Amino acid sequence: MALFPLQDDKEAAYSKIEPILDDSIGYSDDGFRLQTSQRQQRHSWIKKLVYSGVLLVCSLAAFFAGSYTGNSVPSIENDGERLPVPTIPFESVIFQPDPKFSFSSTFSNASSTPLSEAESDAAWTSLLPSGEGFVFVEEPERFGLPPGKAPNQDDKARSSKGAFYDLSVFHQLHCLVKIREHVRLVEFAMSEIVRESSAVDGKLDESSLKRLLQPLEQERHMEHCFDYLRHGIMCAGDMSLEGVIVGEQKGNGMVRRSGGRVVDGWGMKHQCKSWDAILEYVRENEHV
């Protein structure tokens, strides 16, 4: 006799289990939907809290990472590129003539008494810092900079991860100083030509002329400097509005003559980057 009855030939079927409709137990159809909705709401709030926590942690991490980087190297944005230079504040400056920097030719008929050449040379030289405007940048590859000037042996002993870079403003001043020196050389050559020509009754041979002009041939800065200064002036693009000078005016030891209306730029206000702030940055970074 078999212990288990054999199934008959009917197909197996599933019977629907009807929900318990006793509200006292809490499993009625409406109650079930309510509890399900409450559980879904709790899950939704939990997800929102988790997402908010993750965003908060990421934001704090980014903030502190940015603060650390910003404190280690002062930088500004330049077309999306970080540069290791500070933001220089602007200040109002009224352009006024300064006799120390004006150029008085030895062949001019200027009535004003110019400073000695030594005094003028000292004034122009004082514009350039001791390091000639070069600043040291630690790990320049971080900023996508091209190769810089390698430190000397003493500097390499202190740091081998950086290089020196020239600030464009001092490169431009350097070019202006070189142009001034070149003009002085031209004047000297002309004076010597006149002097030696007078000694030989105005008959100066070609070899003597070449000898007097040789210092000018050795000056290679002119072609570069004129074009470089053009770029610098156009890049700065000073949009200050300048008025005209009518007639003749005297001031600050300068004489301004005009038969009509001219613009000399003196007495006009400009918005300029603080020169003191620029020098402060250079002095703090011109050494390793």
Pair of tokens at residue 252: 């600050």
Domain boundaries, the chain: 23-72, 73-285
User: Do residues 110 and 140 lie in contact, with contact meaning Cβ atoms separated by under 8 Å?
Assistant: no
User: Do residues 136 and 149 lie in contact, with contact meaning Cβ atoms separated by under 8 Å?
Assistant: no
pLDDT band at residue 8 using 50, 70 and 90 as cut-offs: very low
The neighbouring-strand residues paired with 136 are 164
Residue 157 has pLDDT above 80, yes or no: no
Q: Is the overall model pTM greater than 0.75, yes or no?
A: no
Residue 227 has pLDDT above 80, yes or no: yes
Mean pLDDT across 236-248: 83
What single string gives the DSSP state of each residue in the chain? --SSPPP-SSPP-PPPPPPP--TTTT-SHHHHHHHHHHHHHHHHHHHHHHHHHHHHHHHHHHHHHHHHHHHHS--EEETTEEESSPPPPEEEEE----TTT----TT---SS-PPPHHHHHHHHHTTS-TTTTEEEEESGGGGTPPP-BPP-HHHHHH-SSEEEEE-HHHHHHHHHHHHHHHHHHHHHHHHHHHHHHHHTTT---HHHHHHHHHHHHT--HHHHHHHHHHHHHHHH--------EES-EEETTEEE--SSEE---TT-EEEEE-HHHHHHHHHHHS--
CA angle 154, 159, 165 (to 5 degrees): 90
The β-bridge relationship of strands 254-256 and 249-251 is antiparallel
Point out the least confidently predicted range of 18-32, 148-162, 231-245, 274-288: 18-32
Pair of tokens at residue 65: 């990472």
The larger pLDDT score, comparing residue 193 to residue 24, is at 193
pLDDT band at residue 188 using 50, 70 and 90 as cut-offs: confident
Residue 251 has pLDDT above 60, yes or no: no
The neighbouring-strand residues paired with 7 are none
The larger pLDDT score, comparing residue 59 to residue 227, is at 227
pLDDT the model gives residue 37: 55
Mean pLDDT across 84-97: 94
The neighbouring-strand residues paired with 135 are 165
pLDDT the model gives residue 247: 53
User: Do residues 286 and 136 lie in contact, with contact meaning Cβ atoms separated by under 8 Å?
Assistant: yes
Residue 170 has pLDDT above 70, yes or no: yes
User: What mean pLDDT is reported for the chain?
Assistant: 72
Residue 86 has pLDDT above 80, yes or no: yes
User: Do residues 212 and 192 lie in contact, with contact meaning Cβ atoms separated by under 8 Å?
Assistant: yes
pLDDT the model gives residue 81: 59
CA angle 269, 274, 280 (to 5 degrees): 160
